[in-house]
Chains A and B, each alone.
Chain A
Amino acid sequence: MLWFSLLVLIPLVAVIITASSGGWSAFASQLGNEQTASAIWLTIRAAVVVTLINVVIGTVIAWVLVRDRFWGKGLLEVIIDIPFALPTIVAGLVLLSLYGAESPLGLHLANTSMSVYLALAFVTLPFVVRMVQPVLEELDADVEEAAASLGASRFTTFRRIILPSLAPAIAAGAALSFARGMGEYGSLVLLSGNLPFKSEVASVRILSAIENDNPEGAAAIAAMLLVVSLLVIVVLDLIQRRMVRRG
């Protein structure tokens, strides 16, 4: 508990205290800044969209990795982890060279909000896959056969038997993916160009607040991100419990 307090609680409380040092009105005005509000909004939007994509695609990838046999499966297993293993700034550089001004693919996403979505999708891909995969591996084949013998189609078996078993893992992966998306910096900072009102995200905004000697402003944004993340984790937990119960 002491360890947890030192490591997690005290820094969190410090952020809240700094954010609230100027009182409620100062806090509100920091967030009311149009450029800040726009950056936070883009961050939330991108994190939500990317998390939703990961929930679907991540589950599908996990399914394919566990249930299918194909040539190159071992390679795919390794590739999935690359976004984890790669230092984020390196990921940013890779994305810049692929989708930047001199894109060999002819895709010019630099300085657009799309670049934020792309960078987040890249770095958060493994979360859901790696959470769901072990749970899927542990599922007993006879449970699915039992459902089939009782007349359930493959789809019904997936929806009523498999999905509820996976729900906690999907929710956990989604929470990680969302939290990562909310705070991501390194991978998107190069490609996005950090244009205010267009491709600037909350983490970049925090950095510029600090650079402009505005620690209260930085703390206010940080507190806001904290609240949103907390909210999303609670919502994910509720959804997951509901799914398990309803079966």
Chain B
Amino acid sequence: MSIEVTGVNKRYGDFVALEDINLTIPTGQLTALLGPSGGGKTTLLRVIAGLETPDSGSVVIEGNDATSLPVQKRNVGFVFQHYAAFKHLSVAKNVAFGLEIRKRPRAEIQAKVAELLELVHLSQFANRLPSQLSGGQRQRMALARALAIEPSVLLLDEPFGALDAKVRKELRDWLRRLHDEVHVTTVFVTHDQEEALEVADEIVVVNQGGIEQIGTPEQLYDEPANDFVMSFLGDVTTLGGALIRPHDVEVTPSPISEHSLEGTVSRVLRIGFEVRLTVLTDDGEVVTAELTRTHARALQLEEGVNVFVTPSPGAYTMPAPSPAA
């Protein structure tokens, strides 16, 4: 087990950032800490790195108790949301920094830097300054810099948060492939469920200073432990008093089972390839359903049309929390 966090608490004044966190992160995996802003995921990552000291609890990295070790001694690679580039140093010098601190022989440093720049596809930019790179390139440089010290764990704090949607998606795929090549234990923080579902082997859902659920992307999506996880990982709607994903709601012109509910289409919203339908049932429930464009067209759906909504066979549902909760 690569990282073991036990009984960690952290407060800032009255604000409880982390409350009794127990977490084990296995070696060689790509783990996502997923949660809303201010939920404590970044604080947890910084506690693992040694950039934050927990009020109580312990952090063990690769079998060594790191709780009282300063960040310098933990041998962790850390990648920041805003790159944290050394602006006055060239790309190659940035990557070489950790190795120079470790007083490695010059030839070894040069070879290692060349190898890493190759890995992150920045070889031709070795002599540029960070300011001459795009955001995505800067983040790849930061990643190479963190990998240079051959860290026991690689920690990334919202690594793609400052990038635009397209670059973000590219880098996400690229990180996954890189991880498959390098196999260093990696933990990354994100508030983007799609990013976590797509990239991670395992997801830890962090909310209000605690852990809501730990599991593979499939487990979390298909069997969420509670309504928070269910609604955080994707859209949800209510149907017959139960929480259900909108794409698990079937819309038909006539009832198909005893669970079918009759209603009227109150809104049709077209978003790219999908159509989002709002149906007001006769019981007064507002149900959202997602259909493909072609499916919606075949049903000739428009506002005011009478339809039946039914949970798809095999769809995951859970009782909706009472409004007071």
* Residues of chain B from 118 to 176 with CB closer than 8 A to chain A in the complex: 142, 145-146, 148-149
| Interchain CB contact under 8 A, A244 and B88 | yes
Query: Hey, what's the 0/1 contact readout for A55-66 against B, CB within 8 Å counting as 1?
Result: 000000000000
A161 is an interface residue with CB less than 8 A from chain B: yes
- Can you give 5 A-B contacts (C-beta < 8 A)? A140-B82, A145-B78, A147-B97, A149-B146, A150-B148
With contacts A143-B84, A244-B88 taken as known, whether A151 is within 8 angstroms of B102 at the C-beta atoms is yes
Across-interface contacts of A145 in B (CB, < 8 A): 51, 71, 78, 80, 84
Across-interface contacts of A161 in B (CB, < 8 A): 86
Q: A142-B82, A149-B71, A151-B102 are in contact. List 7 more A-B contacts (CB 8 A).
A: A145-B84, A146-B84, A149-B51, A149-B72, A151-B98, A151-B101, A152-B101
With contacts A147-B97, A151-B149 taken as known, whether A142 is within 8 angstroms of B84 at the C-beta atoms is yes
Tell me the nearest residue of chain B to A167, going by C-beta: B88
Q: How far is the CB of A150 from chain B (nearest CB, A)?
A: 4
A: contact size bracket: 20 to 34
Closest 5 CB pairs of A and B: A150-B98, A146-B84, A149-B78, A142-B84, A142-B80
Q: Which of A151, A153, A245 has the most CB of B within 10 A?
A: A151
Across-interface contacts of B74 in A (CB, < 8 A): 149
Neighbour of A146 across the interface among B70, B80, B148, CB < 8 A: B80
Tell me the nearest residue of chain B to A145, going by C-beta: B51
Tell me the nearest residue of chain A to B148, going by C-beta: A150
Q: How far is the CB of A142 from chain B (nearest CB, A)?
A: 4
A164 is an interface residue with CB less than 8 A from chain B: yes
Q: How far is the CB of B198 from chain A (nearest CB, A)?
A: 26
A156 is an interface residue with CB less than 8 A from chain B: yes
Tell me the nearest residue of chain B to A164, going by C-beta: B88
With contacts A142-B80, A142-B82, A156-B101 taken as known, whether A149 is within 8 angstroms of B87 at the C-beta atoms is no
| Interchain CB contact under 8 A, A140 and B97 | no
* Residues of chain B from 53 to 82 with CB closer than 8 A to chain A in the complex: 70-78, 80, 82
Q: How far is the CB of A160 from chain B (nearest CB, A)?
A: 8
| Interchain CB contact under 8 A, A147 and B82 | no
A79 is an interface residue with CB less than 8 A from chain B: no
With contacts A142-B80, A145-B80, A156-B101 taken as known, whether A150 is within 8 angstroms of B85 at the C-beta atoms is no
A247 is an interface residue with CB less than 8 A from chain B: yes
**How far, in angstroms, from A149 to B88 measured CA to CA in the complex?**
18
Q: How far is the CB of A151 from chain B (nearest CB, A)?
A: 4
**How far, in angstroms, from A198 to B82 measured CA to CA in the complex?**
57
Tell me the nearest residue of chain A to B51, going by C-beta: A145
B89 is an interface residue with CB less than 8 A from chain A: yes
Query: Hey, what's the 0/1 contact readout for B102-116 against A, CB within 8 Å counting as 1?
Result: 100000000000000
| Interchain CB contact under 8 A, B77 and A149 | yes
| Interchain CB contact under 8 A, B89 and A247 | yes
B: contact size bracket: 20 to 34
Using a CB–CB distance below 8 Å, which chain B residues touch chain A? Answer: 49-51, 70-78, 80, 82, 84-89, 93, 97-98, 101-102, 142, 145-146, 148-149
**How far, in angstroms, from A243 to B146 measured CA to CA in the complex?**
24
With contacts A149-B146, A150-B145, A151-B149 taken as known, whether A140 is within 8 angstroms of B88 at the C-beta atoms is no
| Interchain CB contact under 8 A, A149 and B76 | yes
| Interchain CB contact under 8 A, A147 and B80 | no
Neighbour of B86 across the interface among A147, A148, A151, CB < 8 A: A147
**How far, in angstroms, from A160 to B101 measured CA to CA in the complex?**
10
Across-interface contacts of B80 in A (CB, < 8 A): 142, 145-146
A203 is an interface residue with CB less than 8 A from chain B: no
Across-interface contacts of A115 in B (CB, < 8 A): none
A133 is an interface residue with CB less than 8 A from chain B: no
A124 is an interface residue with CB less than 8 A from chain B: no
With contacts A149-B49, A156-B101 taken as known, whether A165 is within 8 angstroms of B88 at the C-beta atoms is yes
Tell me the nearest residue of chain A to B70, going by C-beta: A148
Across-interface contacts of A245 in B (CB, < 8 A): 88
Tell me the nearest residue of chain A to B99, going by C-beta: A150
Across-interface contacts of A147 in B (CB, < 8 A): 86, 97
Across-interface contacts of A160 in B (CB, < 8 A): 97
Across-interface contacts of A142 in B (CB, < 8 A): 80, 82, 84
Neighbour of A150 across the interface among B82, B93, B149, CB < 8 A: B149
**How far, in angstroms, from A147 to B93 measured CA to CA in the complex?**
12
| Interchain CB contact under 8 A, A150 and B97 | yes
**How far, in angstroms, from A146 to B84 measured CA to CA in the complex?**
7
**How far, in angstroms, from A150 to B71 measured CA to CA in the complex?**
8
With contacts A145-B78, A146-B78, A146-B80 taken as known, whether A153 is within 8 angstroms of B72 at the C-beta atoms is yes
| Interchain CB contact under 8 A, A140 and B84 | yes
Query: Hey, what's the 0/1 contact readout for A62-94 against B, CB within 8 Å counting as 1?
Result: 000000000000000000000000000000000
| Interchain CB contact under 8 A, B72 and A143 | no
**How far, in angstroms, from A152 to B72 measured CA to CA in the complex?**
6
Across-interface contacts of A146 in B (CB, < 8 A): 78, 80, 84, 86, 142, 145
Across-interface contacts of B148 in A (CB, < 8 A): 150
Q: How far is the CB of B132 from chain A (nearest CB, A)?
A: 15
**How far, in angstroms, from A244 to B85 measured CA to CA in the complex?**
15
**How far, in angstroms, from A152 to B145 measured CA to CA in the complex?**
13
Across-interface contacts of B149 in A (CB, < 8 A): 150-151
* Residues of chain A from 128 to 155 with CB closer than 8 A to chain B in the complex: 140, 142-143, 145-153
